[in-house]
Amino acid sequence: MADWISFFDSDHSIYVNARHREVHARITGGGMLAYVNAGDAVLDYGCGEAAYAERIAEKAGRLMLCEAAPKLREALSARVTSNPKISVLTPEEAAALPDASLEVVILHSVSQYLSPQLTDTLFLLFRRLLRPGGRLIVGDVVQPGTPAWKDALALLRFGARDGFFVASVFGLLRTALSDYSKLRKDAGLTRYGEAQMLEKLTATGFSATRAPVNIGHLQTRMTFVAKPA
């Protein structure tokens, strides 16, 4: 986990250009908004840049953004500091939130970078933080047997559809030569089948289903909706 935090805290090339970042934020934010009701208290855990944050905050009552990478967290804090509905938290601060204080917790595109044991620990934390009837959204779960080339092909199709195809080609080449490829090979990604993730959520106190559509453009991945049992 520490290696992945360091990577995302660096000047990485996950986004191939500004257009990619913009469209990704719009699609991801839109997918998240579908699970947020007006006035909800929302925790986005492992939020990254959270370029969609202001959009979600318009609908939510409170939006708490939790990010472990210190430079990323500092930049995020500087960006949202004028918005009274948004706060930026460390993982330790998120863990100290009061019991049953949230309607929605989002863990999007994070589970692949965590050990199964740490994921269990987080699910137990989220179970404690959610109010009765609250919702845990676990998005972008990587399935076993999904090769890297499928993600690359999805990015090229995404770029062709949304106006950054050429940049996506060069971006894939940069990524292939970057620390991301080395980390993906050495540290790997944690993957779950549908039944595995449902079992994990059930074991940590949730009743869960797989959503029909994954949040984001990668439909080879999965989103789960879980409620405290």
Tell me the per-residue pLDDT of 181-224, one tens digit each, with 9 for 90 and over: 555 555 568 999 999 999 999 999 999 999 999 998 888 899 99
Q: For CA atoms 39, 32, 210, 228, give the dihedral sign.
A: negative
Give the C-alpha separation, 106 to 67, whole Å: 12
How remote is the C-alpha of 109 from its chain's centroid?
Answer: 4
**Contact present, 41 and 101 (Cβ < 8 Å):** yes
How remote is the C-alpha of 64 from its chain's centroid?
Answer: 14
Residue 134 has pLDDT above 70, yes or no: yes
Q: Could you tell me the pLDDT band of residue 8, with boundaries at 50, 70 and 90?
A: confident
Residue predicted with more confidence, 136 or 154: 136
Domain 2-228 has CATH 3.40.50.150: yes
Report pLDDT for 183: 57
**Around Cβ 173, how many Cβ atoms within 10 Å?**
12
Token code pair at residue 180: 């991301």
Average pLDDT over residues 160-169: 72
Token code pair at residue 139: 């998005």
